[in-house]
Amino acid sequence: MGSIGADAQIPTIDFSAEAASSLLSGSDSDINIRRQVRAALEGGGIFFLRCSESSTQSLLEEMVIGMKSLFDLPEDVKRRYKSIRPYSSYKGREPIAPLHESFAIDDAYLLESAQAFARVFWPEGNQQVSSALNNINKMMLDLIYAILKVIFESYGAENRYELFVEKTVTSFRLLKYNLPPAGEAVGLVPHTDKNLLTMLCQNDVQGLEILSKDGIWSPLVIPQGCFVVMIGDSLKAWSNGRMRAARHKVMISGDRDRYSCGLFILPKKDVIIEVPDELVDDDHPLLYKPYNYTDYINYFVGNLKDDALETFAGV
């Protein structure tokens, strides 16, 4: 088990890349994995995922090296990166998050996308950065889609999985949290992710905190080599509120910068999020009306409300 703070526990689920590949090729997932994943996401909305492959740690280490070379570039060079997607252009030390810098790259599991991103900063290309981006994305993509398939199976909605995935895209986010001038400071303000499913990894500098159902903030102690998997608002709505979107923040302290990267699975533009009929019954009345994902993001950007999902799509 992994830990949240001193006295709360969250599960660590073993899920090898080989198992993910087998699942995505058509095999049914192990019933025990389905049970563990569903229990974790309905309970706290989060779990640690451990891969048995020794290559996992080396891929992460290569990505951290690449992130350091990227974030060490001059500010004017980093600001060359622009995206039409909200929160995807380079963000650096803004008033709401003065210690936080980030980039987001669409579909970095495609080598040409990773290479195009690197050429924004290094016109001649940067093989180390683009290869690190591409390699870790390919591995994480198989894992996160396998987890999504496990979720659909656990609710008896496996026949909806393939069409659902066809309507998704990926965004890979690179994040640096700079040291505060003194003591401890907020690196990223409290929030829930707005997408479907998130998978995070980091260097060995901790800082991620989760809000419990009891309203208590607790720091995560993330085991080395593990990923963090969290539900976003959109999959919470799809599940008719059965799964919990984990509210989290980043607190920064110590003597080293924190580097983190995450793969975000999100609906394509204007996709409608709708609760399947099989997830509505007498014990689980409908909680969310169908909504346009793009409209929801625009609503959130314009309002920044903690209860944005409920006020926008709640029945």
- Strand pairing of 46-50 and 226-231? antiparallel
Instruction: Tokens 């290094």: give the residue.
Output: 122
pLDDT at 214: 86
pLDDT per residue, tens digit, the chain (315 aa), is: 444 443 357 899 987 666 666 666 656 667 888 899 999 999 999 999 988 666 788 888 999 999 999 999 999 999 999 988 877 899 987 777 789 999 999 999 999 999 999 999 999 999 999 999 999 999 999 899 999 999 999 999 999 999 999 999 999 999 999 998 888 899 999 999 999 999 999 998 999 999 988 889 999 999 888 899 999 999 999 999 999 999 999 999 988 999 999 999 999 999 999 999 999 999 999 999 999 999 999 999 888 888 999 999 999
Q: Enter the pTM of the model.
A: 0.91
Over the stretch 61-74, which tens digit does the pLDDT of each residue have?
999 999 999 999 99
pLDDT at 2: 46
Work out the number of other CB atoms within 10 angstroms of the CB of residue 106.
15
Burial 24-39 (b: 16+ CB within 10 A, else e): beeeebeeebbebbbe
Q: What are phi and psi of 122, to 5 degrees?
A: -125, 95
Amino acid at 160: R
> Could you tell me the two tokens for 72?
């060490």
Domains and CATH numbers, the chain: 12-272 (2.60.120.330)
Residues 6+ apart with CB under 8 A from 149: 23, 24, 29, 158, 161
Q: Which of 4, 128, 116 is nearest to 70 (CA)?
A: 128
> 91 - beta bridge partners?
102
Please tell me the distance from the alpha carbon of residue 23 to that of residue 20, in angstroms, as a whole number.
5
Please tell me the distance from the alpha carbon of residue 229 to that of residue 219, in angstroms, as a whole number.
15
CA distances from 16 to 46, 50, 135 (A): 18, 7, 16
pLDDT at 7: 37
